[in-house]
A and B are shown apart, each in its own frame.
Chain A
Amino acid sequence: MPKRLKISPKWLFFSLLTCGVIAGLAAAGYVFWVGHSEAYNVTREIPWGILISTYVFFVVCCSGLCLVSSLGHVFGVTQFEQISKRAILLAIITMLVGFGTIAMEINHPIRMAIWVVLSPNFSSPIWWMGALYGGYLVILCLEFYALMKDRHGMASTLGLLGFVMAMAASSNLGGVFGLLEARPFWYGAFLPLYLILTALVSGGALLALIVYFNHRTRGLPFHEGERSFMDALGRLQALFVGLLAFFLIWKVITGLYGRPPQGYEAMMALINGPLSLPFWLFEVLLGLLVPLVFLLRRQSRTPQGVALAGGCSLIGMFFMRYDMVVAGQLVPMRVDVGEQAGTWLAYTPSVTEVVIVLGALSACLLLYSIAEQRLDLSSTHT
């Protein structure tokens, strides 16, 4: 009898992720070969597409991980300390992958590295975005080092710094959009605050997933302490998601009420337009309603339930970023075609763009999984 080839789930998992990363790299190579205009579906009207929204997704996840895990070593919520290392590590990885994604989106990443230093523009939110996330990355790395070396004093100080940086960076990222007077859908103080809140949602969701999968993959049982941790996390998540629901409700109401010029059309793109599917199905149903149901009911606020809610939230978050970035650009800046003028412009990501995004997601998971394999990330306190 021929020897049966045994495919372990682990092997399959790593192979799939590797394939994803390779596909992403191949797509990136293709972009370098043919150029952005050929490979991407972004236009002069909609210059920012799914790569930007994915970047936002990653870096806000990064901020969120830091914000939520800081509850452990910064504010002494001891329950959260057990996952500090994992959270900081994943934060570093999401940020790096996020940077990788935006590097694919901007045309000259190397020029950027030179000129943001030689010719900085302090009035540019993107300059501050680079500075804040750059600084934040350094702090995260130092913090991770301190945690790995068990230097708790240093870790706490850095954690506090990181907390402030995460707030600053994610709200500034909201400011990147919120400071554009030309885009009424984005303009205003809403997005900076909203991004802090969504950072908390993303961070909480990721933490739940980390803890859950750490136990599952290692075959560890959930002890009482961990169960109560997951319950606490679930309650916290319920608060975050509930708040997010109210943020969204008021965003929708202000977008519709009195039909503010351009803002109304952008909102309608979400409600009953080209973005209605990602909006209703992913952002609202999967990202808000399903998690709320799981998190609010005591019976379902189990480790599995909280993790499931986290997964849903995270998927919802991904589409929420897409909706936010694209909707703000769908309303034409100029009516150009007279009689046939439509309400909205059109943008659908190209295959290349989608493959790069899949590659980035794979890279993120793969890097984290390798780190889990190689490093001892268990908490020293347990």
Chain B
Amino acid sequence: MKKRRLAIVLDTRKCIDCKACTVACKTENKIPLGRETYRNWVSEGPLRGEYPNLGQSYTPGQCMQCANTPCDRVCPTRATWVNDDGIVVVEDRKCIGCKYCMTACPYNARYYNEETGAVDKCTFCIQRVAVGEIPACVETCPTKVRVFGDLNDPESEVSELLARHPYRVLKPEIGTEPFLFYLM
């Protein structure tokens, strides 16, 4: 089977900051309750302008599944790595809770899960992807901000979107090569 490179393409112009993705993720992945515990988020961008000329953008995000993976590099016990689908995973039992990966992540995409006893993060809902479903955040979104797919498949919707539209990634200067792409 050909290797996949899973990715999410986001059109933030569609985001209304309803946070359906955040709650869907919390229930799908049994994330403990709490304001600090989440795998994905919607950032309220800075308010632009002065009253009454205002503007604001909302930017959803989650683990960027970086190809040049800082968390993978620094983990002392190789509890986190990039799998064959390009998903950065955590193996709970090897996680020692040093939180080095949390300081290494430029996106604040990781948190410590007291229930699993390991650092936790977005896995593109690996348990859903394994059976051919799409991640919960992608599915539940009212305006379908996120599109999920395989970039190694030139026919996939994500490949087409990235071919047709200009896009950006977050913090390109750090060189993480993220696989969350934001259409411009």
**Residues on B with beta carbons closer than 8 Å to the beta carbon of A76:** none
Q: Are A116 and B77 in contact (CB under 8 A)?
A: yes
**Residues on B with beta carbons closer than 8 Å to the beta carbon of A107:** 95-97, 112, 117
Query: Is the C-beta of B102 less than 8 angstroms from some C-beta in chain A?
Result: yes
Size category of the binding interface on chain B: 35 or more
Q: Are B108 and A36 in contact (CB under 8 A)?
A: no
Q: Which of A119, A125, A339, A341 is B77 in contact with, Cβ under 8 Å?
A: A119
Q: Which of A44, A106, A120, A179 is B78 in contact with, Cβ under 8 Å?
A: A120
Q: Are B96 and A112 in contact (CB under 8 A)?
A: yes
Which of B2-10, B42-50, B140-148, B156-164 lines the interface with chain A?
B42-50
Q: Which of A44, A123, A130 is B110 in contact with, Cβ under 8 Å?
A: A44
Query: Is the C-beta of A332 less than 8 angstroms from some C-beta in chain B?
Result: yes
Q: Are A121 and B75 in contact (CB under 8 A)?
A: yes
Query: Is the C-beta of A293 less than 8 angstroms from some C-beta in chain B?
Result: no
Q: Are A115 and B94 in contact (CB under 8 A)?
A: yes
Q: Beta-carbon contacts of A165-202 to B below 8 Å, as 1s and 0s? A: 00000000000100111110000000000000000000
Q: Are B77 and A337 in contact (CB under 8 A)?
A: no
Query: Is the C-beta of A3 less than 8 angstroms from some C-beta in chain B?
Result: no
Judged by DSSP, the binding face of B is loop
Q: Are A335 and B97 in contact (CB under 8 A)?
A: no
Q: Beta-carbon contacts of B69-107 to A below 8 Å, as 1s and 0s? A: 010011111110000000000000111111110111111
**Residues on A with beta carbons closer than 8 Å to the beta carbon of B106:** 181-182, 333
Query: What is the minimal beta-carbon distance from B150 to any residue of chain A, in angstroms?
Result: 27
Complex Cα spacing A185 to B117, Å = 30
Complex Cα spacing A240 to B175, Å = 36
**Residues on B with beta carbons closer than 8 Å to the beta carbon of A121:** 73-78
**Residues on A with beta carbons closer than 8 Å to the beta carbon of B97:** 36, 106-108, 111
**Residues on A with beta carbons closer than 8 Å to the beta carbon of B112:** 36-37, 44, 47, 107
Query: What is the minimal beta-carbon distance from A357 to any residue of chain B, in angstroms?
Result: 18
Q: Are A338 and B44 in contact (CB under 8 A)?
A: yes
Query: What is the minimal beta-carbon distance from B171 to any residue of chain A, in angstroms?
Result: 8
Q: Are B76 and A130 in contact (CB under 8 A)?
A: yes
Number of interface residues of A (CB under 8 A): 44
Query: What is the minimal beta-carbon distance from A73 to any residue of chain B, in angstroms?
Result: 33
Q: Are B43 and A334 in contact (CB under 8 A)?
A: yes
**Residues on A with beta carbons closer than 8 Å to the beta carbon of B61:** 334
Query: What is the minimal beta-carbon distance from A55 to any residue of chain B, in angstroms?
Result: 11
A30-88 contacts to B, CB under 8 A, are 35-37, 42-45, 47-48
Q: Are B174 and A106 in contact (CB under 8 A)?
A: no
**Residues on B with beta carbons closer than 8 Å to the beta carbon of A352:** none
**Residues on A with beta carbons closer than 8 Å to the beta carbon of B104:** 180, 182
Query: What is the minimal beta-carbon distance from A371 to any residue of chain B, in angstroms?
Result: 30
Query: Is the C-beta of A127 less than 8 angstroms from some C-beta in chain B?
Result: yes
Q: Are B77 and A120 in contact (CB under 8 A)?
A: yes
Q: Which of B70, B78, B95, B99 is A111 in contact with, Cβ under 8 Å?
A: B95
**Residues on A with beta carbons closer than 8 Å to the beta carbon of B94:** 111, 115, 119
Complex Cα spacing A180 to B176, Å = 11
Q: Are B76 and A334 in contact (CB under 8 A)?
A: no
Assuming A36-B114, A112-B96, A332-B108, is B74 touching A179 (CB within 8 A)?
Answer: yes
Q: Are B103 and A124 in contact (CB under 8 A)?
A: no
Complex Cα spacing A107 to B114, Å = 9
Q: Are A338 and B47 in contact (CB under 8 A)?
A: yes
Among A47, A334, A339, the most chain B Cβ lie within 10 Å of the Cβ of A47
Query: What is the minimal beta-carbon distance from B41 to any residue of chain A, in angstroms?
Result: 7
Query: Is the C-beta of B56 less than 8 angstroms from some C-beta in chain A?
Result: yes
Query: Is the C-beta of B36 less than 8 angstroms from some C-beta in chain A?
Result: yes
**Residues on A with beta carbons closer than 8 Å to the beta carbon of B110:** 44
Query: Is the C-beta of A329 less than 8 angstroms from some C-beta in chain B?
Result: yes
Q: Which of B43, B77, B103, B105 is A336 in contact with, Cβ under 8 Å?
A: B43
**Residues on A with beta carbons closer than 8 Å to the beta carbon of B36:** 43-44
**Residues on A with beta carbons closer than 8 Å to the beta carbon of B176:** 181
Complex Cα spacing A120 to B94, Å = 11
Q: Are A106 and B74 in contact (CB under 8 A)?
A: no
Q: Which residue of B lies closest to A38 (CB)?
A: B114
Q: Which of A47, A115, A341 is B96 in contact with, Cβ under 8 Å?
A: A115
The residues of A with any CB-CB pair to B shorter than 8 Å are 35-37, 42-45, 47-48, 105-109, 111-112, 115-116, 119-121, 123-127, 130, 176, 179-183, 328-329, 332-339, 341
List 22 A-B pairs, Cβ < 8 Å: A43-B36, A44-B36, A44-B102, A47-B102, A48-B103, A109-B96, A111-B77, A112-B77, A115-B78, A120-B77, A123-B73, A123-B74, A124-B74, A124-B76, A125-B74, A181-B106, A182-B104, A329-B103, A333-B105, A333-B106, A335-B45, A336-B44
Closest 9 CB pairs of A and B: A107-B97, A338-B44, A182-B106, A115-B77, A47-B99, A112-B96, A127-B76, A333-B108, A44-B111
Sample of 17 more A-B contacts, CB < 8 Å, known A112-B77, A112-B98: A37-B114, A42-B99, A44-B108, A106-B98, A111-B94, A111-B95, A119-B79, A120-B78, A121-B75, A179-B74, A181-B174, A181-B175, A333-B107, A333-B108, A334-B108, A336-B41, A339-B44
